[in-house]
Structure 1
């Protein structure tokens, strides 16, 4: 079913879903993600939030959120997208992956729709973000692909008011659905879980190739700014061979100026017996990626000033110094160029956040929706 088949919905209602078609055997196939769930009447997809209702599919979490917060943009993480600016963040419930190491499992694995107490229309979200001085709105915490209709409507409301939009996603989406979804995004951080199909199958219940296909498409066929994050899990996706293969692929397929974040794992969900990622592992991963030729490689979830520092690709001078989510110094000019040699830094920059000496900092602020 195409976008023209959707109807308006009120917050908290079952919203007609896009991207499905009827099968000859009477089932309905969801065409949003590569799982292609085939649904009997009343049956939910693997994501739990998309359900067959009558002769169609509905999104059961439209207009309902697990909560709203204002974050630094660096928390998404995005280091080359209006550094120091604030982003209005929210998610819903459910997920189309089954990651045993999920760091937000209480949200993404929720089966209690009553826990989504914060109802908000797209207009209310955009107006609330504006009222708090946010520069962008992020769809995060759980994967926005599964609440695509809600995310796209919110994105349209944000763009109508001059706000940017950010998707934090695993990019497990079909070729059919991705143009509508990503055309509404100004920046995307893709969680590239690992670099083997075995890893994806064992620990995520999914496959690697659809993610790689979407990443190549994002880089070459779309306009959003793109950064990648890989959570390094000891003994699972942190070998030299896998890190080398991942880094080479990013360099060759996405470009050597694509920012890559290696993030520290902490024991959680179904992998509580795995120890936290040692800082030395993050440093080793960063070194490998830089030796392969990637120019912007960062470490995350740890205090590592060197691993969070952005340098000029022309003269090598320091441009942005960070400690975790806090910007300690910022030296780009108004056009995002090195003040020493004039080389432009890859990314999106302007007179917001750190560029005005007003970096949001490492704080996180829960907020309530402003009702119309």
Structure 2
């Protein structure tokens, strides 16, 4: 299911926006909603920050969600708060979900990483490569919650870089999904098949909103990844990846599409309607490519004499935390033919207007070398 844009605007959490989302904002949100939510401190981070969970619903189907396992991946956190607002708004659809599902959500699993806007935790460990050893306190927290809650489904919520396109098309992978593998052969168990069916259901809704902008993430098996690990324990697990929407580096548009995906996935579970979606349709979702630059400068030999005629420059933005917000600093990533690549912004130096616009950009001297 989906709701209208005006309905979405009415439940969008206004206190949290942009790319820099930290624990203090979540604590404020939870305090504001403490009458409607069952809130627990489920553990602490390496640096002693509280890791909170919230619980809604009383239904038999149990869904566990966690976001910001990587501290700089905040889009899904925003979408989760929107989803909580939707459930608290009391619509018929919300009541259906709360009657048939119990939802346990960890909005920020890695608050130390969130504070300094890094992927890793305070011990410089990628928590999504710590599923087996569980050397980190945050990894222990997640596994303890998993063991105590005994979920029927898991939603593993992440962001992905701007480099991803859908298949070989010039469309950005605004949302990507993965039904994680549970063995090196990437075989399809019953529970992995259920993950695929739920992804098909969510893709169906998103294709109406952002046609051609949904991709399928690489399913290489790694037992140290949390999604693979939970899939190995026979719990249908879905990886969500929030990607780029044109001119949306703050990921406020993508946030909305992730909300709709979560809403659809949970509604299908609540309605016991997974059987309506065909596993085979999962493989119709194109795999992600890696063909995008943030800025692609074609025929760059005009401004860079080291390049041959027709060669290009590909620029990627580095996300840097500055004074409480995220700045996007351009860095030259590649030079050469780049004939199959795309740019979220594209300049052709053979076009006089493009060349004039390029020379007015703040990064012009940097790319000129």
TM-score grouping bracket, smaller chain normalisation: under 0.3
TM-score, scaled relative to structure 1: 0.28
Larger helix share, 1 or 2? 2
| Structure showing greater Rg | 2
